[in-house]
Amino acid sequence: MSARAGIVVTGTEVLAGRVRDRNGPWLADRLSELGIDLAHITICGDRPADVEAQLRFLTSEGVDLVVTSGGLGPTADDLTAEVVGRFQGRESFVDEELERRIAAVVEPLLKRWRGLDQAAIETSTRKQATVPAGADVLGPAGTAPGLVVPPADGHVGPTVVVLPGPPRELHAAWQEAVATETFGTAVAGRSRYEHRMLRLIGIPESEIAETLRVGEEQIDGLDALEVTTCLRRGELEVAVRYEPPAEPAWEGLLALVRDRHAPQLFSDDGTSVDEQVAALLRGSGATVAVAESCTGGELAGRLSGPAGASAYFAGGVVAYADEAKTGLLDVDPALIARHGAVSPQVASAMAVGAVGRFGAGTAVAVTGVAGPGGGTEEKPVGYVCFAARLAEGRELARDLVIPGERAEVRDRSTTVGMHLLRRLLLGEPAPT
């Protein structure tokens, strides 16, 4: 069995939902890259008893490594280092060299903010320089040092990596932590894993479940693959992890998915539809523009997100009002009156308008009823119309009802728009 780890995210503000946790998922990815199995992620407030409870729980689970984030600041509620030191059976002391390094970081702040209490600053610096004896000290990247704390002699349990809460500081401290001998010793049993990702569109999880059942009968060693599925933005992600000897089983599964789900499988190398569209646009030298109503610029955000997007993203118009559609995209008012602003005909006209306004080689338009309360029996909330068009005239279009609340409708609509654009650039027909 590979080395196992747990993550403890500390912070009452995270526990209460006022701050979204970005550190847990980031650390999970880093552990996976190192071949370390992640057993648990927990979140607790800045209460010493609760932090210690998480450490006890993970120790009882037999993990080799615990990674904490947060609780290393200068305020009274930042007690993670103290709690971890006590849990590992190590006395804390003031590291004078570390104290000098933190003071050097703080000094420019004193010049910027006049009138600060010098005694309070020194007390805070000393607090942050108080570390468990025998720990590896990391940084500091900000004013808070990270730590790698092994259990003291006579104590049995995991090594604890203590990282600051701000993501930028945590990322820097993590790199130092991984390089320490203490970290390497703790995870000496880690495995090397291969990671593969299949991405499909227009298919439920039940179909992949059936494919896996077929695979159990046809593929030797399929049980050596760890397969997880996740529906995200209307796409089905099939993540596969395995140790190198199981490569033939992975190849068998890939062949089976290709055979059973070729029309729905758009990525067998892990690339996202956004990455594929960007590569197609760069490779062809084409430019793209967008015209959006109901998605509020989210489609433009996805197209302009990749590095180098300025080479192919010409611009976009967010046009909710009929007057905006006519004034900015030259949509005929009579067309809106005849078919309605949410209609395949208006989506097509918006795409034509975006091509003309920005002089783009390609355009994508989306118009829909995102809700709440704006739908009719004929066009309910979630009814969305799409058009992807080349300047030369070829167009792919579709309309469908997308379930969910406003945010879900908008999010999935951008995905449909990206896939329609991908098909247009590849010369494929629109999905049925």
**288-293: strand order across its sheet:** 313-318, 288-293, 362-368, 383-390, 395-401
Identify the pLDDT of residue 7.
98
Pairwise pLDDT comparison (191 vs 289), residue with the higher score: 289
User: Residues 242-263: pLDDT tens digits?
Assistant: 999 999 999 999 999 999 999 9
Q: Could you tell me if 389 and 352 are in contact, meaning their C-beta atoms sit under 8 angstroms apart?
A: yes
pLDDT-derived band of residue 78, with 50, 70 and 90 as boundaries?
Answer: confident
Q: Is the predicted pLDDT of residue 14 greater than 70, yes or no?
A: yes
Q: Report d(CA 389, CA 363) in Å as an integer.
A: 5
Residues with Cβ within 8 Å of 254's Cβ and at least 6 positions away in sequence, in order, are 196, 198, 268
Instruction: Give the residue carrying structure tokens 């503000």.
Output: 13
Q: Report d(CA 3, CA 34) in Å as an integer.
A: 10
Single out the residue of 180, 135, 195 nearest to residue 162, CA to CA.
135
Q: What is the mean pLDDT of residues 72-85?
A: 89
**3-state SS record for 277-321:** HHHHHHHHCCCEEEEEECCCCHHHHHHHCCCCHHHCEEEEEECCC
pTM above 0.85, yes or no: no
User: Residues 30-64: pLDDT tens digits?
Assistant: 999 999 999 999 999 999 999 999 999 999 999 99
Tokens coding 1: 């069995």
Q: Could you tell me if 92 and 145 are in contact, meaning their C-beta atoms sit under 8 angstroms apart?
A: no
User: Residues 320-373: pLDDT tens digits?
Assistant: 999 999 999 999 999 999 999 999 999 999 999 999 999 999 999 999 997 666
Sorted by where each starts, the structural domains of the chain and their CATH numbers stand as 4-186 (3.40.980.10), 194-267 (3.30.70.2860), 273-426 (3.90.950.20)
Q: Report d(CA 327, CA 387) in Å as an integer.
A: 19
